[in-house]
Structure formats: C-alpha cells, structure tokens
Amino acid sequence: MTPSSNGAAHAIIALPQPYLLFLGDVTEPGFAKTAIGLRDWAPEHCIGEWALPAATVSTGLPSMTPAQAYAAGARSLVIGVANQGGTILPGWIPSLLEAMEQGLDLVSGMHQVLANIPELAEAAARLDRRLISVRVPPPGIPVANGRKRSGKRVLTVGTDCALGKKYTALGLVKGLRARGVDADFRATGQTGILIAGGGLPMDAMVADFSAGAAEQLSPDAAHDHWDVIEGQGSLFHPAYAGVTLGLLHGSQPDVFVVCHQPGRAHVLGYPDYPLPSIEDVIDLTVRLGSRTNPAIRCAGVSLNTHGMSTEAALAACAEVSSRLGLPAGDPMRAETGFEHVVEACIA
C-alpha cells in the first residue's frame, strides 16, 4: 500500500527491511495486531517471527532467532505487540539486546520511545544500530481550524479497538482503486504507519492538537479524490474515546464505515464494559461528526469474521445488512460482499 500522493503533511519513514516480527510474551491476539497486520498487508517485508516461551500467539510465519533472520536477509526487529499503554516490558529487553547484537536495528510503534531506555540506547551507540520509534508525533501540529476542505473522505469507526478498522480502510482503498477512483490510505496508528511508510500517530498527540493533526493528515485534494482514514479507538471506549473524537472532528468525513467483530461482548481489556451496538455507534458518530461535516453518513458495516466458518460469516453479514438496511461484508472475505460497502461509499 503506497503512502500519500496528494501532498499530506506527514513524513515518509525510511525503515530497514525486511523485518523479523517480535511477539514478546503476548497471549491475546488483539494485542499482536501490529505483527498480524504487517503479515497480512506487507508480507513481502516480513521474513519470520520471534517470540518468548510464554507467548501463545503466532503469525504463522517461520520461527527464527535474530541470527537466523539476519542470515536470511532481515535488517530490523519490529516489535509486533500493541499492548495497553504501549509499554516495552522489562522482560523483553534481553531479547531486544540480542537482536541488536546479531545485526538488527529496532523498530517500534509503542508509546515508550526506544531511545529513552538506557540499556537499548547504550547498545545502539556501541553497535551502531538504529532505534526507530514511529509513534512519535512531529513538531508543529496546529490546533484545528474546522475549515471545510476539498476532496472526499471516508473514516473507519468501531464498536471497540483491535477489530478491523485498519483492515477495513486498506480494503476500501484497494476496492476504490480497482474501480478507478483516486484514493489514498491515511495511517493513524503504528501498524498502519509501518505498512504505508508514513502517517500520524493519533494516539500520541497532545489532546488539544488531535483534531488539527487529522486535518493535516487529510488536506485539501481534488474534488474526486478520496482519502480513506484509518480509525482509532471507539467513541464508547472508556479510555480511548478522546482520540476517536478528535480524529472524527478533524477528519470531517463525508462517509464512515462501522467496524465490528461478531461475538465480542465486552470492550477488549475492560470486561466491565459491554460493547455498544452498531446502531448506537452509527447514531453517536452522526451526531458528533455532524459538528464539522453536517452531511456525514454511514455507508455500511465491516465485520471481522475471522475464525468463523464461511456459512456463519455469510449469515452474520446478511443479518446485519437486513437489520440496518446497509451493506455489510468482511474485507478479508470476498464472498461476503464487501464490494457493496465500497460502492456505497462513493454512491
């Protein structure tokens, strides 16, 4: 997926490739979304995976030590975990040091900056390795001005975190381009930035500047150009709703697509908070989004049917579509009719 082509004010990041994906000791697939996202959308840059003994999640890529990966051509170890708080755990440090000893640079999308960890900074200086943290916002982001911009925009929103907003955005770009529509993927999270080579880490912005960052990410464009903006968090999330709202207001989307995972009953990592309904998400997104774009509308629903049989996935999409009167599909399963969601965006 190529980065911006219409002058968005975000930097292109030169990353050392190919990657060895580090899974740490992760046991929850949702917290391995960086590694899994790179496997699915940038497989040509991924040589293998490396995990600690306690890990129970795998990308399915070959298991390699840093020495084996370097010999196979890898040039960086990417931390493929996206845990709560974006912290690099102390138990990972020996593995990260080993990767540098074996010739690999380190790439991270965590909130915690690699260069701020003394052991890593010392080893990087001694070994002449690079420490690349992509979740660091650039300087000079302005406060939002609320001005209506030219061009068209679609934003992916969700009932929760880690359920397909990035995959949906990438699927929409692919579908729009296949129809001859000029479209760009606008990355707002660490995995998207690693895939696209550029973007803005929305969840690392100072709150007052989050809407302004979204405006910078999707600037004025040709009237028939579509920016497909990767959503973050959920308006109903007890911790991350502020990120979602700033992105919604600054993006000024003409269209949004709701992302949901059938069967998920509670907010990931927050068992006391039940997931909102798709209907509630549509209603709140329209009410809040209309502040900066009164014409905002929902084009459809993207369902994450991973782990479901084909029959169950088709039934889930059909039920949601019938209930809401909107197209529904899974961007990773062509048979579910996701192309109808794409078409509804530009209808």
Q: Taking 90 as the threshold, does the pLDDT of residue 124 lie above it? A: yes
25, amino acid identity: D
Residues 55-66: pLDDT tens digits? Answer: 999 999 999 999
Q: Measured in Å, how far apart are the chain's first and last C-alpha atoms? A: 24
Which pLDDT value is given to residue 2? 43
Q: What is the pLDDT of residues 291-342, one digit of tens each?
A: 999 999 999 999 999 999 999 999 999 999 999 999 999 999 999 999 999 9
User: What pLDDT, on the 0 to 100 scale, is given for residue 1?
Assistant: 42
Residues in the chain: 347
Instruction: Give the pLDDT confidence score for residue 6 in this predicted structure.
Output: 45
- For domain 19-129, which CATH number applies: 3.40.630.30, 3.40.50.720, 1.10.150.120, 3.40.50.10490? 3.40.50.720
Nearest to 59 by CA among 76, 84, 72, 42: 42
The domain locations on the chain are 19-129, 152-346
pLDDT of 13: 64
Token pair of 332, please?
């990773």
For residues 248 and 157, the answer to whether their CB atoms sit within 8 Å is yes
Query: Residue 87: which of 65, 66, 117 has the closest Cα?
Result: 117
What does the mean pLDDT of the chain come to?
94
Indicate whether 76 pLDDT > 80: yes
**Ramachandran angles phi, psi of 296, nearest 5°:** -55, 140
Determine the Cα–Cα distance for residues 212 and 264; give it in Å rounded to an integer: 32
Structural contact between residues 247 and 214, judged by C-beta atoms closer than 8 angstroms: yes
Rounded to an integer, what distance in angstroms lies between the CA atom of residue 137 and that of residue 111? 10
Contact 75, 105 (CB under 8 A): yes
Task: Read off the pLDDT of residues 267-294 as tens digits, 9 standing for 90 and up.
Answer: 998 999 999 999 999 999 999 999 999 9
Q: Which CATH number fits domain 152-346: 2.60.40.10, 3.40.50.300, 3.30.450.40, 3.40.50.10860?
A: 3.40.50.300
Q: Answer yes or no: same fold for 19-129 and 152-346.
A: yes
Identify whether the C-beta of residue 320 lies closer than 8 Å to the C-beta of residue 336.
Answer: no
Give the predicted TM-score (pTM) of the model.
0.86
pLDDT (tens digit per residue) in 205-217: 999 999 999 999 9
